[in-house]
Chain A
Amino acid sequence: MLEFISQPWPWYTSGAVIAFVMVLLLFFGKSFGFSSNLRTICTACGAGKNVKFFDFDWRSQTWNLLFLVGAVIGGFISAEFLAGDMPLQLSQATIQDLQALEISGPDDLQPEELFSLEAIFTVKGFLVMLLGGFAIGFGSRYAGGCTSGHAISGLSNLQLPSLIAVIGFFIGGLITTFILLPLIF
């Protein structure tokens, strides 16, 4: 059993489990949306004193912070106990495209060129992560949600605004992939 779930999960299993998590939260009386946690963290740190947007009772969002803690634990369990020996089966075309950018193939889940400690202590590596994160935080709040809130919850509820947001996600993703990454790497 453990061996079975330690393999990489096929897309249909993964998609079904994600839908299950979303439905589970609905039956808990909540709505699946991860990026709200970033706003809650700002408020919990006292941002509500100066900025109206953060002036709300963040304790009402404790459930979502607990979900966040669970996500970290889930990652830890996967890394420690469910790590299979199957390497990531990245498509050959992607491997070649990334080689052209001098980013080495998938030995691990993440590329060394971005996620290693050596990389993060270079100016380029630090700025890529910092500015990338900044855009994610700014953009998800501006759009009112991220992949979970818009692409999963919103599209499941057939919300046109969510479809527009997902189109935006792709416009931005394509700009980074085909214009910014070749400039940076």
Chain B
Amino acid sequence: MKGLKFILAGILFGIVMSKSEAISWFRIQEMFRFQSFHMYGIIGTAVVLGAIAVYLIKKYKLRDFQGNPIVFTPKEMSVPRYIIGGTIFGLGWALTGACPGPMFVNIGFSYWAIFVAIGGAIAGTYMYGVLRDKLPH
């Protein structure tokens, strides 16, 4: 099955989010209160190692498992889009203590209340699609 590798990658992601406690509302509060290095250590390590990996992939023009070149699409430059969008995202992140990935990992922990947040997130995404042309980008 071609899709199995994505399920396995997702399982690894779900486990690391759980065992690092990055899915915990408490850990996100601790981060936004600058009272522990834990979350900064996680994100920092991931970014440093990720940056080294991306650098090596570009330098040696590595190809993916199917033999296609690995391409990185640069993100379009804008300030309002990222600042306003990012701020709205941050408001919700600190409120629910879960960004989109951990939201779904929480289902595995039987925290059924998270379905309300997931419903809200889908509604919010839909609302963005509706208002998109009217928003500054």
Name A's B-contacting residues (CB within 8 A): 5, 8-31, 34-35, 37-39, 41-42, 47, 51-54, 62-64, 66-79, 82, 88, 90-91, 93-94, 97-98, 106, 109-111, 114-117, 119-120, 125-126, 128-148, 150-162, 164-177, 180-181
Contacts and interface: CB of A to CB of B under 8 A. Distances in A.
Contacts of B12: 17, 20-21, 24, 70, 74
A130 B117 contact: yes
Contacts of A5: 19
Contacts of B123: 133-134, 137
Given A114-B97, A167-B83, A175-B87, 13 more contacts: A18-B46, A29-B64, A70-B14, A71-B13, A78-B14, A129-B113, A139-B88, A164-B79, A172-B93, A174-B32, A176-B92, A177-B33, A180-B94
A90 B66 CA distance: 44
B84 to A, nearest CB: 7
A133 B117 contact: yes
Interface in B18-33: 18-33
Nearest to B77: A161
Contact of B32 (A71, A90, A119, A177): A177
Contacts, number: 496
A53 B74 CA distance: 20
A91 B35 contact: yes
Interface size class of B (residues with CB under 8 A): 35 or more
Interface in B65-93: 65-66, 68, 70, 72-79, 81-93
A31 B9 CA distance: 12
A133 B76 CA distance: 26
Interface of B: 3, 5-33, 35-39, 41-51, 53-54, 57, 64-66, 68, 70, 72-79, 81-101, 103-114, 116-130, 132, 135
